[in-house]
Amino acid sequence: MTTKVYSGAEIVAKALKDQGVDVVFGIVGIPVVEVAEAIISEGIKFIGFRNEQSLSYAAGAYGFLSGRPGVCLVVSGPGVVHALAGLVNAQVNCWPLLLIGGSSDTYQQGMGAFQELDQVTLCRSYTKISTRPPSISQIPNVIDKAIKTSIYGRPGPVYIDLPADFIQGSINYESMNLPGRAADPPKSLADPQSVEEAVRLLLGAKKPLVIIGKGAAYSCAEREINEFIEKTRIPFLPTPMGKGVVSDSHPLCVSAARSKAIGDADVVILLGARLNWILHFGAPPKFNENVKFIQVDILPEEHNNNRRIHVALLGHLPLVVSQLLFYLPSSFSYPSTSDYAQSLRQKIEENIASTNEKFKDDTIPMSYHRAFWEIKKKLPQKDIVFVSEGANTMDIARSIFDIHEPRHRLDAGRFAIETAVRANLPMIIIIINNNGIYHGLDTESYNATSLNALPSTALLPDVRYDLIADATGGKGYFVRTPLELDNAMKEALKDNEKVIVINVMIQPGGRKKLEFAWMETTKSKL
């Protein structure tokens, strides 16, 4: 009988295959080349990147969209350091991610080995678990534990360190205890007494508001939350990545009256939403000083964070919302004739009218609103994933582009163009180019200003980012007018085989004073 002997690299690949991993994002080099080749041999798709920051962001987004950890493979030392950006991003966003980093041989520890770094300690602060297998035989068990840790409870990133001698070593495969695919996370209900208390609070509310967060999207709670909104008729507000759990076009969506909705509400139920900077920490003056919060979350420590939570509902969000539906009286429906509902409707109409006027701006270069309007008119309502990144572009886009499906919006995402072309991703990248960050300068003003006197926000004017797409096999468009943007969008949406870059020139903004919405909350704390 022939004994099956496999290398550590092959064991890693087989363990990932057993866990159902179907794609790995990575950059090869010493000592992980053999791991990447073994992964490909197992039939797992390997997407090679040029920068670890980009691949770790992509893996985090994959984890959010799929519910299973996005897997990264990087080299030792600088490779792990550069991947920390996506690791931290996954931590703060509560996304499942598995980072696998190569490291120097175990016997060379402390000897100044090539790219030697204590990566387990480095990653520990940004992960749920950071570990190294004690032996080659334990690699499958460590991978199993890491994946379970990543998706159980509140999701998050994990790190596994792979020494070079483990990767290149070998072991009898039959002698190993293989754990198989990690089971899906266990699900729990909230305490029934707490659910009853939450229902009593909702029934007594004069100005109730539902806030739908990213956790609702991740937990696939769209069916239960839609039923809850339809039954209760309570106005709702999605956070940026909670958009689409209930369609933005729903008549009870109050995104267009966000400030008034949160400022007037007397009872707020948080569904997978945290009282962090996105929601002004739940603090006055943005929120009513006497507002009462009901919070549904899977992590006990999140309750009573920043503001007192009057009713904490700990459990799996879809199940907890089902409990609320069960305990609510069948006759309950928040009246659309209430002063609160009517005032929100009036504010929505006023704000939409104001925004529609901005869409009509014919100034060249275009304004943000006019450029976004031309894009919005052409985008399909469904079957697109909307990724928004960067200062004013992201901030303004949140209030303009409607999302109708859950897990179809990502904020602050990054992709590498050449990688996208090589991976045949049907992607349209629209660059809102104002020659700077927040504000830039036009060419004349830029050339008339010495380098030392340039604003910190200014970048080189009229950079042709669209040519990068042409150079890598995609297709680029450079547009300055609404008509040119309209035509570029038409052509881009026809092409499902190329990565498209549309470089949209808008008003630079000049030397305006920078103002940020989050500064208002900060000032109120001083």
pLDDT tens, 325-348? 999 999 999 999 999 999 999 999
pLDDT tens digits for range 235-244: 999 999 999 9
Q: What burial class does residue 132 get, using C-beta atoms within 10 Å of its C-beta: 0-12 exposed, 13-18 middle, 19+ buried?
A: middle
Residues facing residue 475 across a β-bridge: 500
- pLDDT of the residue at 384: 87
Dist CA 50 CA 288 (whole Å): 48
Task: Tell me the longest C-alpha to C-alpha distance in the chain.
Answer: 81
Name the nearest CA neighbour of 483 among 499, 462, 504, 497.
504
Q: Which residue has the tokens 């387990």?
A: 120
- pLDDT of the residue at 174: 77
pLDDT > 90 fraction of the chain, expressed in percent and rounded: 81
Q: What burial class does residue 506 get, using C-beta atoms within 10 Å of its C-beta: 0-12 exposed, 13-18 middle, 19+ buried?
A: buried
pLDDT > 70 fraction of the chain, expressed in percent and rounded: 96
**Whole-prediction pTM:** 0.90
Strands of 157-163's sheet in order across: 45-48, 23-26, 70-74, 97-103, 157-163, 129-131
pLDDT band at 451 (very low <50, low <70, confident <90, very high): confident
pLDDT of 246 over the 80 cut: yes
Instruction: Report the pLDDT averaged over residues 302-309.
Output: 94
Dist CA 17 CA 23 (whole Å): 10
- pLDDT of the residue at 176: 81
Dist CA 70 CA 51 (whole Å): 16
pLDDT band at 322 (very low <50, low <70, confident <90, very high): very high
Q: Please list, in sequence order, all residues whose beta carbon lies within 8 angstroms of the beta carbon of residue 523, skipping any fewer than 6 positions away.
A: none
pLDDT tens digits for range 82-95: 999 999 999 999 99
Instruction: Report the pLDDT averaged over residues 196-220.
Output: 97
Listing DSSP states for 295-361 in one string gives EEES-GGGTTSSS--SEEEES-HHHHHHHHHHHS-TT----TTSHHHHHHHHHHHHHHHHHHHHHT-
pLDDT tens digits for range 400-434: 999 999 999 987 644 457 778 878 888 999 999 99
pLDDT band at 497 (very low <50, low <70, confident <90, very high): confident
Dist CA 152 CA 167 (whole Å): 28
- Can you tell me whether residue 6 is helix, strand or coil? strand
Instruction: Report the pLDDT averaged over residues 20-36.
Output: 95
- pLDDT of the residue at 207: 98
pLDDT of 516 over the 70 cut: no
- pLDDT of the residue at 518: 46
pLDDT of 438 over the 90 cut: no
pLDDT of 351 over the 70 cut: yes
Distance of CA 248 to the CA centre of its chain: 18
Dist CA 450 CA 34 (whole Å): 51
Instruction: Report the pLDDT averaged over residues 121-144.
Output: 96
- pLDDT of the residue at 292: 98
Q: Please list, in sequence order, all residues whose beta carbon lies within 8 angstroms of the beta carbon of residue 346, skipping any fewer than 6 positions away.
A: none
Is residue 187 within 8 A of residue 316, CB to CB? The reply is yes
Question: What 8-state DSSP symbol labels residue 155?
Answer: -
Is residue 12 within 8 A of residue 35, CB to CB? The reply is yes
- pLDDT of the residue at 514: 62
Dist CA 281 CA 384 (whole Å): 31
How many of the other CB atoms lie within 10 Å of CB of 198? Answer: 25
pLDDT band at 56 (very low <50, low <70, confident <90, very high): very high
- Which amino acid belongs to residue 283? A
pLDDT tens digits for range 142-181: 999 999 999 999 999 999 999 999 999 999 887 788 899 9
Q: Which residue has the tokens 């990144």?
A: 389
Identify the residue with better confidence: 131 or 422.
Answer: 131
pLDDT of 4 over the 70 cut: yes
- pLDDT of the residue at 2: 64
Is residue 247 within 8 A of residue 266, CB to CB? The reply is no
pLDDT band at 524 (very low <50, low <70, confident <90, very high): very low
- pLDDT of the residue at 26: 95
Q: Please list, in sequence order, all residues whose beta carbon lies within 8 angstroms of the beta carbon of residue 47, skipping any fewer than 6 positions away.
A: 23, 24, 25, 26, 55, 58, 419, 422, 423
pLDDT of 513 over the 80 cut: no
What is the β-pairing status of strands 23-26 and 70-74?
parallel
Assigned token pair, 114: 């090539």
- pLDDT of the residue at 310: 97
